[in-house]
Chain A
Amino acid sequence: MKKFRVYKTKHVDQTKTVSFNFDGKSYHGFDGDTLASALLSNGVHLVGRSFKYHRPRGIMSCGSEEPNAICQINEDTDLTEPNVRATEIELYEGLKASSQNCWPSVNFDIGGINNFISQFIPAGFYYKTFMWPKSFWKKIYEPLIRWSAGLGKSPTKPDPELYDHKHVHCDVLIIGGGISGIIASKIAAKNNLKTILIEDKNILGGSTIFQKNENYKINNKYSSEWLDEEIAELQKLDNLTIKTRTSLAAYHSYNYLLAKESISDHLPLDKKNGGIRQRLWKIRADKVLVATGAIERPLVFNNNDRPGIMLANSVKKYLDFYGVSCGFNNVIFTNNDSAYETAVSLKEKGISVEIIDIRKKSNSKIVKNAEKLGVKIYWNSTIVNTFGHRKINSIEIMNLSEDGSNVVGDKNRINCDCLAVSGGWTPMVHMHTQSGGKLYFRENDQTFIPTEIDENHINVGSCNGDFELEEIINNTNKKVKNFLRVSETEFDNTSVLNSKELDKRNIWLLPNYISEGKCKSFIDFQNDSTAKDIKLALREGFKSIEHVKRYTTTGMATDQGKLSNMHALGIIADTAGVKMGKLGTTTFRPPFTPLTFGSIVGRSVGKFFDIIRKTSIHEWHSQNNAKFENVGQWKRPWYYPINDEGLHDAVQRESKAARDSAGILDASTLGKIDIQGTDASEFLNRVYTNAWSKLGIGKCRYGLMLNEDGMVYDDGVTTRLGENHYLMTTTTGGAANVLSKLEDYLQTEWPELDVYLTSVTDHYSTASICGPNSKKILTKIFPDTDFSDEAFPHMSYQNAKIDEINCRIMRISFTGELSYEINIESKYGKSLWEKCIEVGKEFKITPYGTETMHLLRAEKGFIIVGQDTDGTMTPIDLQMDWIVSKKKYDFIGKRSLYRSDTIREDRKQLVGLLTDDPNEVLEEGAQIVSDVNKKPIEMIGHVTSSYFSPNLNKSIALAVVKSGKKMNGQKLIVPMENKNINVTVSDSVFLDKENKRIYA
C-alpha cells in the first residue's frame, strides 16, 4: 500500500496514533489530523455521493467551504450529529463517521442510477415533477426525496450535553487569526485596548503558518517562522483574549456578534465528562475588525467533480501542514499564480506535478521558480474532460482560442491521480454583508470587495481583497493604525519578499468541444447543480439572481454556496450579457456555518425553559394532590381530585361544596398594583369606565378597563385604602401589561398627574373564602372583627390581625356567594391558608381550583377577560352598559364607544345559552348558526364558556352572538361533526339574579 503521509510536520504529532472508523472500516491517523487529512493519509478520497445524481464525490477542500465530505458522526449514540464537515472535525480516538449521502454504500449506490437518467432531472426538476397530485406529497414524494437526498439523521434522544451562553463587551473584536488578524490584534492590545481575537481553527496562523519557502519572506525570515514569533508574543499580551475553535456565527447591527466556541467537540466521547460542549459568545464590541480571509474558487469544466479533484491551496495545506500528499501524479489546473505555490511545494518534496494554465503566459517570480524546478506548464490550455470512476485517473486537455471562448487543436490525454484546481480567490465578505455592509465589484480579478460603512468596522487582509503578502502586511498595518488612531507600530517598516502577481484570466464556464447539454460542469457540488441548469433557468425566464438561486437550488445547501455563488453569478452575467457588478450578489444570511440547536438555546432547557411562578401556598397545594394549570408563568391549582377522581367529578364536588357550605381559592396570582398620589382618584377616573371620585375610603369597586379602541382590556376590583391610596387588582395574565399601560399614560399623556404605581403582586398572598359559611369561618379566624353586614358590608374592606400579623380583608365576590378575600404578606401566605383550612374543617371547607372558579362565576354570568372577550368586545357588547359612566367627560376608550362600527346593533353580543337537552354540554369554541338549511351556512357566533352546573343541575354556556341582545328565548343551533345541538338564548345570569347569596 502506498504511503500518503510523505513527511513530518510540526502540526501533526506522528508519535501519537489515533484510531477511527469511517464507513465501518478502521483507520489510523495522528494527533493533529482532521478527519479529512486522516482519510487522505489513508488514500481515501471517495467520501460520499452527490445530492441529486449520486455521483461519487471526494474531499475537495480543507475548511468550512467543503461541499462533499459531509458526515454523520457517532451514529447510534446519543451524541450523533449529522451534516458535519470532515474537513472541520479534529480527529480523536474512537471517532466514528459515516458518509451521509449514499445508500447502501459509498462504493455501490443505487441512487447512482440518477446519474444515467440525469438528462431527465433538469433545473427545477423537483418543482416540476413532484407537483401533482397533491395527495402524493406526504406519502410518496416527500419520503422519496428525503430518502434519496441523504440529509442525515437527527439524534432521536434528548441531547445529553451542556451548552452555555456568555455575554462580553470589548473595545476591539478581531475575527480571524490569520496573518492580518494577528497583526491587528497585536496593534490593538499593545495600545491599551481590551481586545478579543477569535479563530475557528484550533491554532492561529491561517495559511501563512505553513508557508515555508524561499518565495515568501518577512524581514528575511520564512513567513511561517516570522509568524510563529508574532504568535508567541501575542500570547503574552494581557489585554488580549485569544479564542481558538471559535467561529463567528452572526454579525448583527451595532457591532453585536455571536460566536460559537467549541469546547469539547474535539475530545473523545469518553473524555467529554459531561462538561460544557459549546459556548455561544454574545459580544458587543466598540470596534470590529474582520479578517476572515478568502476561499479559493474552483473552476467550472466538464466532469469537474470526480474524487481526487481538489482545491489547489487545500492540496498544499494537506501537504505542508498535515504532511499528506493527495496524489503522486498531480496536475494543477489554474488561471492565476497562487496554484504555483502548490506546485512548488510538491516539486520540492520530489512529488510529480504538471500545470495546465488557462493564461497565455506569466512572468511572475513564482512561475519562473516553478519552471526552474522543472514543472511542466501547458499554457493557454483547458481541461475538456476527466476520467476515472471512484477516483480521477486522467484528464483530456485542449488549447484555448485567442479570446478564450472556444477550444482549438487536438485533445491531449494526461494521467493523474489528483487534480488541484484554482480559479482565484473569493474574499469572505459574509460577515461584512451580514452587518449591513455593501460590496463593489473589482473587474481585474472579478471579485466583490467590501465598501467600508462606518468608523467602527473594517475589513483587513484577503477578505478585503488584499491577496499578496506585501499588500496584506502593509495595508493591514495602515488600515488598523487609522482605525484605532495609532500613530506608529512595529510593523511600519516590515520588509516583505513576495513572488506572486494578481494576474488572472477569468473564464467562468470553460469552453468545450462537447455540446453544452452533454457536459456536466458542476457549480454547486453539494446541491448538484450545473452550468446547464443555470442556463436553463435563464431560458425559462428567471432573471433575478435570487430566483435563479432558488429554482436551481444553487447556493442553497449547508455550505451556503461558499464555492458556487461566484460562478453562478458569472455564468448568469455572461449568458444574460449583464455586468457582474450590476447583477449584485445573493444575500448572505447568518449563521455563517450551521449552529447546533444546543448552542442557540444554551441553558434554557428543561425546567429552565421558562420562568415558573409559584404562590407561597404552592407546597400545600402539591401536598394536597392539586393538579396544576399554567396561567401565564404561574402554576395555579386547577382542581384537587380526591382519590382517583377525574376533572369533571372533582369540579362538580368542589362547585357544590362552595355554594352549599364553604370553598377556598388561592387568589394570590391576581395582579396587584399599589396606586398612591394626590391625583390617584382622578387617574382611576381616566383609566376605568366607571366613576371613582366618590368611592369612600374602605370601599371596593369593580372596574372595567378599555383600550382606546373601546375594547375591553382588563378588569378587577380596586379598593380605596386611604385618601390618596388605592390597591388595584388585575387579571392574572394581564398584570404586567396593565402596569405598562398605566405607566405609559402617566409618563406620556398625563405627566401632570401626581400618581405613583408599584407592582405588589408578589408581595401579598390571597386566600379567597366563599360560601354561606364563610362569615362563620372568618369570625373564628378574626374574633376581634365585626363581620355584620352593617359593620362590614359587601364591597368594603377592613384591616385585621392574625397573631400580630396585619391582614387586609375585602368582602368581594367573584362567585356570587358571600365571600371574603384575605390578603397577607406573602411569607405568611401558607400559614394563613393552613389556618383557614384548620378553622374551616367543621364547615367542610373545600379547596377549589381555577376550573371550579370558572364554573361558579359562569353560573353568575361574570365574564373572564380573554375567555369571553377577545379584543373585539366593548362593554356594550358584553351587556355591561351599567359600568360605563355617562357623566364622565373622558376615559380611555370612551370616544370609541360611539364610533359608527361600535354602535352597530348586529355586533356580536354576550348571551347565555341553554341546551334543549340539559345534560348536553357544549364545546367551548363551537360555532353557532341559526339555519342549517340555507347554504352557505352563516356563522353568527361562538360558545365562549360552557359547563355542567351542579348547582342548577343543567348545562349552561356563555356565547357571543350577532344581535344576541335581542334574541332572548330564540332557538339556535350548534352544529357539531355528528349532530346538531339545539340551544335557546337566555339571560347570561343563570343563578341568583337577585344577588341574595352575597348577603347570605
Chain B
Amino acid sequence: MFLINCPYCGKRDQSEFSCGGEAHIVRPKQPTELSDDQWAEYLFMRKNIKGVQFERWNHAHGCRKWFNMVRDTSNDKIHAVYKMGEKPPVE
C-alpha cells in the first residue's frame, strides 16, 4: 500500500486516495470541430505503461483535491507529486 504525499495535506495512506487514470489529457476546447477519430483519441485512448507513468490522483477521503503523480508501474516507486496545472517534472 502506497504512502502518498498529497501536495495539500502531506503523507497519507493510499486508502484515502483514488486514482483517476492517465494525466495530462486535456479535454478538447472545441469538441464539435473534431472528427470521430480525433474525439475517440481523447475519449478512449489511454497508455498502459510498464515503467514511468503520469497519473491523476484524488485525495478523496481527505482534502478532495486532484493532483498529478509520476509513478513507476514496474516497482510502484512514486517519483513526484505536483498540483494540477503545474508542469510535470522533467525526467
Task: From A253, A254, A744, give the contact of B20 (CB < 8 A).
Answer: A744
- Say yes or no: A253 contacts B64, CB within 8 Å: no
Q: Which of A436, A748, A899 contacts B75 (CB 8 A)?
A: A436
Residues of A within 8 A of B28 (CB): 895
Contact partner of A256 (CB less than 8 A), chosen from B3, B36, B40, B58, is B3
Given contacts A744-B66, A748-B66, A256 and B1 within 8 Å (CB-CB): yes
Contact B1 A895 (CB under 8 A): no
Residue in A252, A751, A894 whose CB lies within 8 Å of B31 = A894
A244 contact set on B, CB distance < 8 A:
none
CB-CB under 8 A for A284 and B76, given A740-B60, A747-B66, A751-B85: no
B9 within 8 A of A: no
Given the complex, which residues of B lie within 8 Å of A743, measured CB to CB?
A: 64, 66
A709 to B44, CA, bound (A): 9
- The answer, among A254, A255, A895, for a CB contact under 8 Å with B32, is A895
Chain A: minimal CB distance from B16 (Å): 12
Docked-complex contact A896 and B39, CB < 8 angstroms: yes
Taking CB atoms, residues of chain B closer than 8 Å to A709 are: 43
- Taking CB atoms and an 8 Å cut-off, the chain A residues in 890-918 that contact chain B are 890, 894-896, 899-900
In the docked arrangement, what's the CA distance between A744 and B56, Å?
10
CB distance from A506 to the nearest CB of B (A): 33
Interface residues of B in 13-37 (CB under 8 A from A): 13-14, 20, 26-28, 30-32, 34, 36
Question: B84 near A748 (CB under 8 angstroms)?
Answer: yes
Q: Which of B54-91 contact A (CB under 8 A)?
A: 56, 58, 60, 64-66, 75-76, 84-85
Are B58's CB and A744's CB within 8 A? Answer: yes
Tell me the complex Cα distance, A325–B57, Å.
61
Nearest-CB distance from A373 to chain B (Å)? 52
Residue on A nearest B40 in the bound complex, by CB: A899
Q: Which residues of B contact A895 (CB under 8 A)?
A: 28, 31-32, 34, 39
CA distance A225 to B54 in the complex (A): 56
A253 touches B84 (CB 8 A): no
List the A side residues contacting B64 at CB < 8 Å: 743
Chain B residue contacts of A748, Cβ below 8 A:
56, 66, 84
Residue of B nearest to A899 (CB): B36
Tell me which residues across on chain B come within 8 A of A751, comparing CB atoms: 84-85
Q: Are A896 and B85 in contact (CB under 8 A)?
A: no
Judged by a CB distance under 8 angstroms, whether A749 is at the interface is yes
Minimum Cβ distance to chain A for residue B61 (Å): 11
Is A889 part of the contact surface with B, judged by Cβ < 8 Å? yes
Residue among B1, B14, B64 facing the most chain A CB atoms (10 A cut-off): B1
Distance A252 CA – B3 CA, assembled complex (angstroms): 11
Contact B34 A252 (CB under 8 A): no
- Which B-chain residue is minimally distant from A891 (CB atoms)? B31
A754–B2 Cα gap in the complex (Å)?
A: 34
Q: Which partner residue on chain B sits nearest A894 by CB separation? A: B31
B 39-59 binary contact with A (CB < 8 Å = 1; else 0): 110010000000000001010
CB distance B31 to A890 under 8 Å? yes
Q: Enumerate chain B residues within 8 angstroms of A896, measured Cβ to Cβ.
A: 39, 43
Known: A744-B66, A748-B66. A253 touches B43 (CB 8 A): no
Q: Which residue of A lies closest to B44 (CB)?
A: A709
| CB of B41, distance to nearest CB on chain A (Å) | 12
Within the complex, the shortest CB–CB distance from A362 to chain B, in Å, comes to 43
Q: Does A708 contact B (CB under 8 A)?
A: yes
Q: Is the CB of B3 within 8 A of A284?
A: yes
On whether A253 and B76 interact (CB within 8 A), knowing A744-B66, A749-B27, the answer reads yes
| A255 to B13 CA separation, bound complex (whole angstroms) | 11
User: What size tier do the contact residues of chain B reach?
Assistant: 20 to 34
Q: Which residues of B contact A436 (CB under 8 A)?
A: 75-76
Shortest CB–CB separation between residue B57 and chain A, in angstroms? 11
Tell me the complex Cα distance, A312–B48, Å. Answer: 51
Q: Which residues does chain A contribute within 8 Å of B13, judged by CB atoms?
A: 256, 284
- Least CB separation from A252: chain B residue: B1
A284 to B40, CA, bound (A): 42
Contact of A253 among B1, B26, B31, B65 (CB under 8 A): B1
Taking CB atoms, residues of chain A closer than 8 Å to B56 are: 748
Q: CB-CB < 8 A to B60: which residues of A?
A: 740
Measured between beta carbons, the chain B residues less than 8 angstroms from A254 are 1-3, 14, 76
CB neighbours of B1 from chain A (8 A) = 252-254, 256
A896 vs B31: C-alpha distance when bound (angstroms): 9
Which residue of chain B is the closest to A900 with respect to CB atoms? B36
Q: What is the distance, in angstroms, from A707's C-beta to the closest C-beta of chain B?
A: 9
**A708:B43 contact, CB within 8 angstroms:** yes
Interface centre among A253, A899, A900 (most CB of B within 10 A): A253
Please tell me which one of the listed residues B32, B58, B85 contacts residue A894 in the complex, with CB atoms under 8 A apart. Answer: B32
Residues of A738-760 contacting chain B, CB below 8 A: 740, 743-744, 747-749, 751
Q: Which listed residue (A256, A747, A900) contacts B84, Cβ 8 A?
A: A747
Residues of B within 8 A of A740 (CB): 58, 60
Q: Would you give the shortest CB distance from A844 to chain B, in whole angstroms?
A: 46
Contacts of B20 in A (CB 8 A): 744
Q: Which residue of chain A lies nearest to B42 when distances are taken between CB atoms in the complex?
A: A708
List residues of chain A with CB within 8 A of the CB of B75: 436
Write out the residue numbers on chain A whose beta carbons fall within 8 Å of the beta carbon of B40.
899
CB contact under 8 A between A890 and B32, given known A254-B2, A708-B43, A899-B39: yes
B23 to chain A, nearest CB (A): 9
Complex Cα–Cα for A191 and B30 (A):
61
A753, chain B: closest CB distance, angstroms: 13
CA distance A694 to B37 in the complex (A): 34
Complex CA gap A743/B31 in Å reads 21
A255, A743, A895 interface centre (most CB from chain B within 10 Å):
A895
> Is B36 within 8 A of A253, CB to CB?
no
What residue in chain B is nearest A253 (Cβ atoms)? B76
Neighbouring B residues of A749 by C-beta, 8 Å: 26-27
Q: Mark A704-715, 1 if CB is under 8 A from B, else 0.
A: 000011000000
- B68 smallest CB distance to A (angstroms): 10
How far, in angstroms, from A751 to B56 measured CA to CA in the complex?
A: 15
* B36 lies within 8 A of A747 (CB): no
Tell me how far the C-beta of A685 lies from the nearest C-beta in chain B, rounded to whole angstroms: 14
Question: Which residues of A are found within 8 Å of B30, using beta-carbon distances?
Answer: 890
Q: How far is the CA of A626 from the CA of B3 in the complex (A)?
A: 46
| Cα–Cα, bound, A153→B26 (Å) | 57
Q: What chain A residues lie within 8 Å of B58 (beta carbons)?
A: 740, 744
Q: In the assembly, what is the distance between CA of A890 and CA of B2, in Å?
A: 38
Give the contacts of A11-29 with B (CB-CB under 8 A): none
Give Cα distance in the complex from A899 to B41, angstroms: 12
Residues from chain A with a CB closer than 8 A to the CB of B36 are 899-900
- In the complex, which residues of chain B have a beta carbon less than 8 angstroms from the beta carbon of A747? 65-66, 84
Give, as a whole number of angstroms, the nearest-CB distance from A738 to chain B: 14
A167 (CB) vs chain B CBs: closest residue: B13
Specify which chain B residues have a CB less than 8 angstroms from the CB of A284 in the assembled complex: 3, 13
- Cβ proximity bits A244-258 to B, threshold 8 Å, 1 near / 0 not: 000000001111100
Docked Cα-Cα span, A361 to B32, in Å, equals 86
Which of chain B's residues have a CB closer than 8 A to the CB of A890? 30-32
A residues in contact with B31, CB < 8 Å: 890, 894-895
Which of chain A's residues has its CB closest to B64's CB? A743
Contacts of A252 in B (CB 8 A): 1
Smallest CB separation, A755 vs chain B (Å): 14
Q: State A252–B13 Cα separation when bound (angstroms).
A: 12
C-alpha gap A139/B50 in the complex (Å): 45
- 16 contacting pairs across A/B (C-beta < 8 A): A253-B76, A254-B76, A256-B13, A708-B43, A709-B43, A740-B58, A743-B64, A743-B66, A744-B58, A744-B66, A747-B84, A748-B56, A748-B84, A890-B31, A894-B31, A894-B32
Q: A: which residues have CB within 8 A of B?
A: 252-256, 284, 436, 708-709, 740, 743-744, 747-749, 751, 889-890, 894-896, 899-900
| Given A256-B13, A740-B58, 20 further pairs, Cβ under 8 A | A253-B1, A254-B2, A255-B3, A256-B3, A284-B3, A708-B43, A740-B60, A743-B64, A748-B84, A751-B84, A751-B85, A889-B32, A890-B30, A894-B32, A895-B32, A895-B39, A896-B39, A899-B36, A899-B39, A900-B36
> Sorted from nearest, which 3 A-B pairs have the closest CB atoms?
A895-B31, A254-B3, A256-B1
